[in-house]
Amino acid sequence: MRARTRFFAAALTLAVAAPIAVSQAPASDTAGARILPSTAASYAEYQGNVTQVMSKDIGSAAELNRHVQTFGSANVNQLSSGWISYGAILAAQNPEFAEEVRKVDAAYGRERVMLGFQNSPSYARTLKGGEVALQAALTVNAHDTARILSAGTYVKEQSYSMQQLSWGKSRAPDPNKTASTLRTASTQDKPASATFQQAFSAPDLNTVLASMAASPTTAQSIWDKVAVLTVSAPANAFQTVSPVVAAPQTLKIKPGYDGTANRMLTLGAQHILSAEQTHPVQMRESMSDPMSRDCLAEAQRNFFGCVSAATHNDALAGCLAKHGLQIPREETRSIGLCLSEIAR
């Protein structure tokens, strides 16, 4: 298993400073700043951090602590909103769903449509193409969370290896102070880096994202497929993304997560309509998902508790794997688990 996860890590060469670019919006968007791409950049940054931790073995206590700080200080509100916004952008790429949303908007008017979204959480999901659009978003999400599981396995195996290293079996510096520092940092707003923001503003990537959403690959996440992204030429990074060849089996919404799925479709419909230009408050409300937010908050509390009890560096690496990422057959809530619970 260790050899296998090393292979996965070697295959992920994307650095945090070179994140994935994601579609700004469907092609017919009107001019103006878009809410979802900016918000989704927080989720992209988390995936960039996953890539970073998988890119090579952790080589020192200082490096381990940097990873713990990165994953442990995440702002759960931003990560939750970023995750659901990314799913909504994916759903918005479905042409049938997008066409139906625009037809309804033209027929009934913006105010009535937005009122419908507000009064009936499942309204967008009942529109033609809605379920197919949702399935595309869920399938891409399943591939995204599978790589988090691989990263967690990789780091967990390293925690065992650290027991044979002098720095790995050394005492961790003041666990209670570290946990307190993480707790304070997690309450602060953390705008995604300029590199991620610029990447998410690239309108020429619509075609690639639409291809991924229409027929997601059964083997990889989009984050695995792109090796390098330069802000000056983001489209070039996607030249190696091959057309997808097969659609996966239908995923079922996990009990209790129908509200999250409905919210994702509603937000996707609002994105299609560029509703931030007319109803910004309502759109912000749509991206605030209590299920994923509360799950992530619990996962983070578990992370803090684990860190405060980790007296040695190998145990600290175990906290990172178990709570900052995800490990197989572990039911304790972790960040990775919270991002995968929506479907099965």
Mean predicted confidence (pLDDT) in 107-117: 96
Q: Among 284, 302, 328, 273, which Cα is nearest to 39's?
A: 284
Per-residue confidence (pLDDT) for residue 330, from 0 to 100: 85
Q: Is pLDDT of 29 > 60?
A: no
Between 86 and 194, residue with greater pLDDT = 86
* pLDDT higher than threshold 80 for residue 218: no
Write down the pLDDT at residue 195: 67
Instruction: Tell me whether residue 131 is exposed, middle or buried, using C-beta atoms within 10 angstroms of its C-beta: 0 to 12, 13 to 18, 19 or more.
Output: middle
In total, the chain counts a number of residues equal to 344
Residue 32 pLDDT:
60
The whole-chain average pLDDT of the chain stands at: 81
Residues 48/21, Cβ–Cβ less than 8 Å: no
Q: Which two three-digit tokens encode residue 197?
A: 């923001």
Percent of the chain scoring above 70 in pLDDT? 75
* Tokens describing residue 261: 């799925």
Tens of pLDDT, residues 270-325: 999 999 999 999 999 999 999 999 999 999 999 999 999 999 999 999 999 999 99
Is residue 210 within 8 Å of residue 133, measured between CB atoms? Answer: no
Does the structure show a pLDDT above 90 at 227? no
C-alpha span between 200 and 203 (Å, rounded) = 8
pLDDT above 90 (res 100): yes
If pLDDT is split at 50, 70 and 90, which confidence band does 203 have? low
pTM of the model: 0.82
pLDDT of residue 329: 86
At 102, is the pLDDT very low, low, confident or very high (cuts 50, 70, 90)? very high
Residue 200 phi/psi, 5° resolution?
-75, -10
**Which residue, among 275, 199, 261, 258, has the nearest Cα to 40 in the 3D structure?**
199
The pLDDT confidence band at residue 229, using thresholds 50, 70 and 90, is very low
What is residue 232's predicted lDDT score, i.e. its pLDDT? 34
Tens digits of per-residue pLDDT, 132-162?
A: 999 999 988 988 898 899 999 999 999 999 9
CA dihedral of 85, 88, 89, 94, whole degrees rounded to 10: 180
- Nearest alpha carbon to residue 235 among 20, 9, 83: 20
pLDDT the model gives residue 224? 57
Q: Give yes or no for a contact between 234 and 204, defined as CB atoms under 8 angstroms apart.
A: yes
